[in-house]
Amino acid sequence: MTSLNLNQAGRRRGRWFAQVGWRHLVAVLAVLFSLFPIVFVVSAALNPLGTLSTTELVPTGGVSLDNVGGLFERTAFGRWFLNSLLIAGLAAFASVFLSALAAYAFSRMRFRGRRVGLLSLLLVQMFPQFLAIVAIYLIFGTITDLWPSIGFNTPWGLLLLYLGGALGVNTWLMKGFFDTLPRELDESATMDGASHAQVFFRIMLPLVAPILAVAGLLAFIGTINEFLMANVFLTSSDSKTLAVGMYGLLEGNERNNNFGIFAAGTLLTAIPTVLVFQFLQRYIVSGLTSGAVKG
């Protein structure tokens, strides 16, 4: 009797594992993989000694916030943070707007050169802008001479440069979003006397707003992480972005000593993006797939 019960229980547990248990096992392993570098960075940020060589996976030598203080005292971190927010915020907003404009034309209008335009956008996008960094450097040398306020070491010059890549990245995605909206919507609005601009601003944009927000967020994160061009562009300490400034923290002999404040900076950089990310996650899944998949 008891042995039968045990047997049944064992079989039930086996079936539970085959149907649900393995899923938890995979998920837990994946979470461990996802988290351990982040835990390491947190531990480094809290490590009172602030060096790489004394940092363990979990803080063992006590916990302190010295690194955060050191970050603001010894570096222009606040300034870098503001620069990054300014550049990435404006670039994300402008690039989403510019590519939404273009996507509207590609999705709703038929004109000569439409196919060529779409294909050449795809082609231009494949030539990464930073391969042309030498040419960009020479061109912006001239611009700095003529208009110093949009030249090197200014956020505006870098912003202009990022806007050059705006159309290539998002237009295809956005066109996918617009294509999923039924044409009858804007056709009936047109019949009611709406101009093309009214159709765009009053009907199309509000309908895709959540997805625009996601595209904007992705553009924002992409810009925050852009390193190569910002590194060539911004050399004075006050104009640096987070990526350039924090890379400088770990350069040369300071790599070991600055690791604590670097980790503190990483966490402070991550807080806003992680929060927004978790908040928008539902839209991100649909945003990433609906544009590309249904496209």
Partner 1 sequence: MSTPLSGPGSATQAPGREPAGSPPPRSRATRDHAPITLTGLAGKVLLLGLTAGVAVWAAFPLVAAEMWVGLALLVASTAGLFYLYLTRRHVPAKYLVPGTLFLIAFQVIPVLYTASTAFTNFGDGHRGSKDDAIVAIESSSVTQVPGSAEYALTIATTGDPATGALVFLVTDPGTGAVSVGDSDGLRRLDSADVTVATGGRVTAAAGYTVLNIGQASSRSKEITDLVVPTPGGALRSSGLSRAYEGKAVRAYDAACDCVRDAETGRTWTADDEAGAFVAADGERLAQGWKVNAGLTNFTRVLTDKNVSGPFLSTLIWNFAFAIGSTGGTFLLGMLIAVALHSARMRGTNLYRVLLVLPYAMPSFAMLLAWRDMFNADFGLINNLFGLDVDWFGQAWTARFAVILVQLWLGYPYMFLVATGALQAIPRELTEATSVDGASPWQSFRAVTLPLLLVALSPLLISSFAFNFNNFNAIYLTTDGAPFPADNPTNGATDLLITYTYRLAFGGQGAQLGFAAGISVFIFAIVAVVSAVGFRRTRKQEEVYA
Site residues for partner 1, 205-264, by CB under 8 A, read: 221, 224-225, 227-228, 242-243, 246-247, 250, 255-256, 259, 262-263
152-165 in b/e form (b: 16+ CB < 10 A) is bebbebbbebbeeb
Does the protein bind partner 1 through residue 292 (CB under 8 A)? Answer: yes
Q: Is 110 exposed, middle or buried (0-12, 13-18, 19+ CB in 10 A)?
A: exposed
Does the protein bind partner 1 through residue 17 (CB under 8 A)? Answer: no
Closest CB 2 distance from partner 1, rounded Å: 29
Helix axes 242-249, 259-289, angle to 10 degrees: 140
Does the protein bind partner 1 through residue 58 (CB under 8 A)? Answer: no
Q: Taking CB under 8 A as the criterion, which residues in 142-171 touch partner 1?
A: 145-147, 160-161, 163-168, 171
Site size toward partner 1 (CB under 8 A) is 111
Closest CB 6 distance from partner 1, rounded Å: 24
Q: Which residue, 63, 49, 95, 132, is CA-closest to 212?
A: 95
Nearer to partner 1, 3 or 112 (CB): 112
**Residue from 70, 82, 90, 129 that binds partner 1 (CB under 8 A)?**
129
Choices 7-15, 74-82, 95-103, 205-213; region in contact with partner 1 by CB under 8 A: 95-103
The alpha carbons of the chain give a radius of gyration, in whole angstroms, of 25
Closest CB 67 distance from partner 1, rounded Å: 14
**Residue from 49, 82, 118, 203 that binds partner 1 (CB under 8 A)?**
118
Does the protein bind partner 1 through residue 93 (CB under 8 A)? Answer: no
Closest CB 291 distance from partner 1, rounded Å: 10
- The string of DSSP codes covering 261-286 is HHHHHHHHHHHHHHHHHHHHHHHHHH
Does the protein bind partner 1 through residue 26 (CB under 8 A)? Answer: yes
- How far apart CA 229 and CA 157 sit, in angstroms, is 11
- How far apart CA 174 and CA 295 sit, in angstroms, is 9
Does the protein bind partner 1 through residue 196 (CB under 8 A)? Answer: yes
Closest CB 39 distance from partner 1, rounded Å: 10
CA atoms within 13 A on the CB side of 19: 6
Does the protein bind partner 1 through residue 279 (CB under 8 A)? Answer: no
Does the protein bind partner 1 through residue 117 (CB under 8 A)? Answer: yes
